[in-house]
Amino acid sequence: MQVKFVLIVLFLAAVAFAQVPPADWVEESIKSDFRQLGVGFCRAEEQCLVRNDFNPDFDNNPNSYWDGLRNRSNGPKCINDTQYILDYYCDGGSWTSRTRRISEQLLAVALAQSGENFSLYCDRYDRVLNRYLYPVERGIAQDFLGKFCPQGFTEQVLEGCTNNMCVLRHAGGVAFGASLNSPVDNPQRSFLFALNRPSNECRNAVDDDGEFDPCGNNVWYDRRLNAVLYAPGVPSLPAPQLLASDFFRRPFEEKLHPYVFSFVHRPQVQRYNYSFFNQTPLFNYVYMAKANEEFVYAFKQENVTLFQIDFAGWYFSNIALPKDACARLMKRADSFAGCEQQPSPSEFFMAAQRTPPPGNFRQPSLVDAWSDVVGMLRVGR
């Protein structure tokens, strides 16, 4: 009797499986969130992972991110291409920054003129601007650069009203820009107040086409990016071309990345483990300058991975550095910096990292002095 029962069960199971169509296997890309704290999947390839433990029912709704910080079931697991959270910008399924998008537009201005003599610097406003304490109609310019603005639907979280600022020095003068975390026409905290312009200055720049539109008085506004440029003497903004993007991508991918994994990376030693260099930086901290054949390129990335690592890279081409610059300058400031081996006499490479240490001990790192190193070694000095 037991044998017959087993045979019947096996027969029914075989029939059931025979009626199930074969499964279709679909290849999905593993995505990292913008802080590189976790990985997961999104429903669409062009989406970017926000947090793997958030709710896909709220996908493509960036403002819900702030609700998700209080209750994970109310936050978006993924957001769509061209959407953003603060400075983190989803670009076709990969994270970059709105600051990078602004810098590419500024770089297009320089490249349209000559492309041989320019500098571009993106960092905190108090590091890239020579002056920010000047008086404006609403008070002091700094008041509208460093303020905090409420975020999300409930407006219970405060973040900086502006992200990093980019300053371009080019043949025609100086231009700068920043992306905003508050409406450009905010009646109390508008970024336009820092330019001594009314909050409704850009009321006619309403095209949602992902391009900067003129507001008048040398001001340009991209509604989709929620970003402002100030470009005196520039009658029209050239569209960013692939060459502008190459200025960010190629020095990292073709110069610094191969250098680090050939001469610096040693995964068995924590302070020389540069596995995170496999992730393309956000390029929200970046410096590049060109003066004919001289070229400088540097970036910094903050607070990535569970260890909250900061790391940076520098690349110099045809720059006359002091003899034994690595030992005499760099290693003296940061004994763990990677620059001992230099594969080319006309190039200089350097990488550094910093991990928040336990307790009060802190190993000096060139990452902390990133802006100072950039300033010390700029072209044309």
Question: φ, ψ for residue 279 (rounded to 5)?
Answer: -90, 130
Burial of 378 (0-12, 13-18, 19+ CB in 10 A): middle
* Amino acid (one-letter) located at 124: R
Residues 221, 246, single domain; the answer is no
> Does residue 89 fall inside a structural domain?
no
Domain that holds residue 195: 97-230
Residues 217, 254, single domain; the answer is no
User: Cα(334)–Cα(352) distance, rounded to whole angstroms?
Assistant: 8
> Does residue 6 fall inside a structural domain?
no
Decide if pLDDT at 165 tops 70: yes
> Does residue 50 fall inside a structural domain?
yes
Residues 169, 283, single domain; the answer is no
Residues 113, 221, single domain; the answer is yes
Of 80-84, 183-187, 319-323, which one has max mean pLDDT? 80-84
Mean pLDDT lowest among 29-43, 75-89, 252-266, 363-377: 363-377
Q: Rounded mean pLDDT of the chain? A: 87
Residues 136, 183, single domain; the answer is yes
Mean pLDDT lowest among 144-158, 253-267, 275-289: 144-158
Last residue of a domain, one of 19, 52, 80: 80
> Does residue 381 fall inside a structural domain?
no
pLDDT for residue 376 = 64
pLDDT for residue 379 = 53
User: Cα(83)–Cα(224) distance, rounded to whole angstroms?
Assistant: 9
**Contact partners, residue 57, CB within 8 Å, separation at least 6:** none
pLDDT for residue 248 = 87
> Does residue 207 fall inside a structural domain?
yes
Q: b/e per residue, 13-39, with b = 16+ CB within 10 A?
A: eeeeeeeeeeeeeeeeeebbbbebeee
Kindly state the average pLDDT of the residues 209-226: 93
Residues 135, 222, single domain; the answer is yes
Overall domain count for the chain? 3
Residues 250, 371, single domain; the answer is yes
Contact present, 33 and 42 (Cβ < 8 Å): no
Decide if pLDDT at 104 tops 90: yes
For residue 273, the tally of other CB atoms under 10 A from its CB is 16
Which DSSP string corresponds to 80-123? -TT-EETTEEEETTEEEEHHHHHHHHHHHHHHHHTSSEEEEEEE
Nearest Cα to Cα of residue 185 among 204, 208, 166: 204
Is the model more confident about 363 or about 279? 279
**Contact partners, residue 102, CB within 8 Å, separation at least 6:** 122, 166, 177, 178, 179, 225, 227, 229
pLDDT for residue 10 = 40
> Does residue 39 fall inside a structural domain?
yes
Per-residue pLDDT reduced to its tens digit, 146-162: 888 888 877 777 888 99
Residues 192, 156, single domain; the answer is yes
> Does residue 298 fall inside a structural domain?
yes
> Does residue 25 fall inside a structural domain?
no
Helix (H) or strand (E) holding 163: strand 162-170
Greatest distance between any 2 Cα atoms in the chain: 96
For residue 8, the tally of other CB atoms under 10 A from its CB is 10
Residues 196, 73, single domain; the answer is no
Per-residue pLDDT reduced to its tens digit, 235-255: 999 988 888 888 889 999 999
Residues 255, 353, single domain; the answer is yes
Residues 203, 276, single domain; the answer is no
Residues 209, 250, single domain; the answer is no
